[in-house]
Amino acid sequence: MFRTLAVAAIATLTLAACDQSQQQPTKPIKVRSAEQNQLHELDALNLAIALKRAIYDAGYTCKRITDAGFVGEWKNLDMWMAHCEYDRGAPVNWAVFAGPDGGAQVRDCKDVPGSGLPDCEIKKRPKGSFGNGKES
C-alpha cells in the first residue's frame, strides 16, 4: 500500500511540475540564401534575366519582361513579380518565390487572389531599364 501511495504521489508531483513550467516566447528562425540577397542587388536588366530563367525552369514561357520588382516576404520566401509580354496572346504577370535553398516557385498572378499569398503588387523596382525604354 505504501508503495502504491508513493507511486501516486510521484506521478502527481510530476504532472504538477509539468503544468508549472514556464513557456519561453519563441522567436521564429529566419533562413536566407545568398541567392535571395543577390536578387535585391541586381539592376533591372539582370533581374529580368534571373526571373525569366526561373519562369522557364518552372516550365513556363516569357518572351519579354517589361516590368518586374520585389513584392515582399511570405514566410521564408522572397516574392517577386515579373510582367511578361508575348508576340501573340495576352501579357502574364508571374509571381516568383525565391527560397532559402536557392530554388524558385512560380505562379500565375491571376491565381494568387484568395490563396493567402500576397497580392502581386511591386513594392520596390530595381534601378535601370528592362530594355524597353522604361527607366525605373
Residue 100 CA to residue 116 CA, distance in Å, equals 20
What is residue 25's predicted lDDT score, i.e. its pLDDT? 72
Give the residue ranges of the chain where pLDDT is below 70.
1-23, 132-136
CA distances from 90 to 45, 47, 127 (A): 22, 22, 26
pLDDT at 17: 52
On whether the CB atoms of residues 70 and 3 are closer than 8 A, the answer is no
The answer to whether residue 1 is domain-embedded is no
Length of the chain: 136
What is the pLDDT, as a whole number, of residue 82?
98
Residue 15 lies in a domain: no
Rounded Cα distance between 70 and 96, Å, is 10
23 domain residue, yes or no: no
Q: In total, how many domains does the chain have?
A: 1
Query: In this structure, is residue 24 part of a structural domain?
Result: no
Place of cell 526561373: 54
Q: Report the greatest alpha carbon distance in the chain.
A: 91
Write out the residue range of the structural domain in which residue 85 sits.
34-111
User: In this structure, are residues 114 and 92 in contact, taking their beta carbons and an 8 Å threshold?
Assistant: no
CB 51 within 8 A of CB 65: yes
In a domain, 53, yes or no: yes
At 133 the pLDDT is: 53
* pLDDT tens sequence across 63-95: 999 999 999 999 889 999 999 999 999 999 999
pLDDT given for residue 20 in this prediction: 54
Q: Is residue 97 part of a domain?
A: yes
- Residue 101's Cα: distance from chain center in Å? 11
